[in-house]
Chains A and B, each alone.
Chain A
Amino acid sequence: MPHTSSSLVPGQPLTPAVFHILLALADGDKHGYAIMKDVEHQTAGRLKLGPGTLYGTIKRLLAASLIVEVDERPDPELDDERRRYYRLTALGRRLALEENERLTQAVKAARSKRLADNPLS
């Protein structure tokens, strides 16, 4: 039975690490270091994944079939063959979309409350 983390249950919010890794793979296959750099770029440096967090999350995403490991290389000439590449699955894409909608909804709700216009102090 694949290991399922509570953060990977459909309908439940995803952790930031999971969501940003799925987002990083949304525009193409990537290896670990490229995923890490992409996540850093997406979050303007606020989320810096360490190797343990990155590969621990990748392990759980693989077990939940949200991503798969691929043998194809984008450019075999330039690539280091020791690297592993990962690809988003249809299920992973659906979960990322759900999370995107949840976050959009949350941002919309925050805007309707005019949070930024009514600071406490």
Chain B
Amino acid sequence: MKTNRWVASSQRLYCWLLQLYPQAYRAIYESEMLHLFSDQCQEAYKQRGRAGILSLWLRTLVDVGVTVIREHLSDPDARVGLLDAAPNKPLPWKGVLLVLIPGLIFFVSQIEQVTSNNDWFFLAFYRAGYFLILPVLLVWLVTRRFPVWGLIPLGLLYETLWNYSQRSNLGNLPFIGHWFDNDSVVLFGMRTSPYDLKNSLVVSLCAILLGILIWYSARQRQISRSAWKWLGVYGLMIALSIAGEFYRFASWWPLDETREYFLQIPVWDLYQTLPFLLLVFIGMFFARKHGGLTFLLLLGYLLPTVIFGRYGSWNEPISFYLVSLAVLMYRFVVALVAPVWLVRAASVPGRQRAAAIPVAIAIFCHVALNFIVSLAWAGEIGYPATVFELVFNSWGQLIVAAGLALAVTLYLPREKDQAVASPPALAAATE
């Protein structure tokens, strides 16, 4: 029997749509459903021609839309990929799509930033975290399982809140707001500015929480030797950062009015570096369930990283090609390549590579762009750009790189590390 072109095309399209159903469901009903739809098509065409086919499609699209969601929610097997990752198996593509949503938003907004004068991308950069966490919280509440695709939004929200706290009107805070309304605050006999006080409070809180988490993880034997080494490197880099800041402004030291600033140098450096370290250790709670995929939490933290738009830190125009390269390298790698590579990798070494290589490329790109912009600026104002200054400007990114290396050793311990540290829950989760 000769098949009509409209009927044949409809069958092909419906066959493709059937892929949206859970695999277990398709295994039983796929051929039956296709058969039934073909019968419907033949009949619709026989009765009303093309109009019959179009009318059938209107009903069928609603049917597919509703029943795909229902089958995914009702099928226990379909939960893999939507909520959890199966150990040592790549995440199914439906889960990958959910993981990719925040990255896609940031990638598109970054392209908007460098190609137009519109500023709606700010909305994505500073507000996306609040909206992307809502479905995650809803799913967590309903299923009592934190979904694997919620890790990036959680990291993003953490970064957004921490970043926002640097600018927010702290005078609105309940109970302690009045401290921040004044020009200066006297605490334990010392006069300090409200912002320095806020920084000190955040640093103290981070340090206490970190101490508790590190102690707890060590007690649970979840910190391998490599992780201890990277934790040491992270601490050393913070110390070098503080020392470098003192060295940089050493000539100002004798002045009375700058003495207060010198006292705040360590606090400010710790304010910049401790929250990320705290997030790495918060990730240990998720590593028990999600294993190496917990690295997604840190990718979420890196998502809103500013890598310059059309204008640099001093509002100077930056080469379009340079920014485009940075966007392609940094945003594309962190937002799209690293998450997909990570969740599609099936083994611990594969996930280690997926975590390390794209992030190393992204951070190298970020550091290189910082170098180039600093050099260009130095040339413009006639300020001599020393190697120290250039390295110092990128030190923050290098500290983040050390933190990410620490995360790899914590969430994805190598076999020999596991034998030494034997973190039972973590090993079970990653194996």
Does B35 contact A56, Cβ atoms closer than 8 Å? no
Please give, as numbers and ranges, the residues of chain A lying within 8 Å of B33 by CB-CB distance: 32, 51-52, 55
Q: How many chain A residues have a CB neighbour from B under 8 Å?
A: 18
Does A33 contact B39, Cβ atoms closer than 8 Å? yes
Q: Does A68 contact B (CB under 8 A)?
A: no
Does B71 contact A83, Cβ atoms closer than 8 Å? no
Does B63 contact A55, Cβ atoms closer than 8 Å? no
Q: Does B36 contact A (CB under 8 A)?
A: yes
B24 to chain A, nearest CB (A): 10
Query: Which residue of chain A has the shortest Cβ distance to B21 in the bound complex?
Result: A52
User: Which applies to chain B's interface (DSSP): helix, strand, loop or mixed?
Assistant: helix
Q: Does B165 contact A (CB under 8 A)?
A: no
Q: Does B64 contact A (CB under 8 A)?
A: yes
Q: Check A83/B32 contact, CB under 8 A, given A50-B60, A52-B64, A52-B67.
A: yes
Q: How many chain B residues have a CB neighbour from A under 8 Å?
A: 24
Does A83 contact B35, Cβ atoms closer than 8 Å? yes
Total contacts A-B at CB 8 Å: 56
CA distance A83 to B32 in the complex (A): 7
Does A56 contact B71, Cβ atoms closer than 8 Å? yes
Please give, as numbers and ranges, the residues of chain A lying within 8 Å of B40 by CB-CB distance: 33, 36, 51
User: Which residue of the partner chain, among B21, B34, B35, B63, contacts A53 with CB atoms under 8 Å?
Assistant: B63
CA distance A55 to B32 in the complex (A): 8
Does B64 contact A32, Cβ atoms closer than 8 Å? no
Q: Does A84 contact B (CB under 8 A)?
A: yes
- A15-33 Cβ-contact flags toward B at 8 Å (1 or 0): 0000000000000000011
Q: Does A64 contact B (CB under 8 A)?
A: no
Which 10 A-B residue pairings sit nearest by Cβ, starting from the closest?
A50-B63, A52-B67, A51-B33, A55-B29, A52-B63, A51-B36, A33-B39, A32-B36, A56-B67, A33-B36
Q: Which residues of B contact A (CB under 8 A)?
A: 21, 25, 28-29, 31-37, 39-40, 59-60, 62-64, 66-68, 70-71, 74
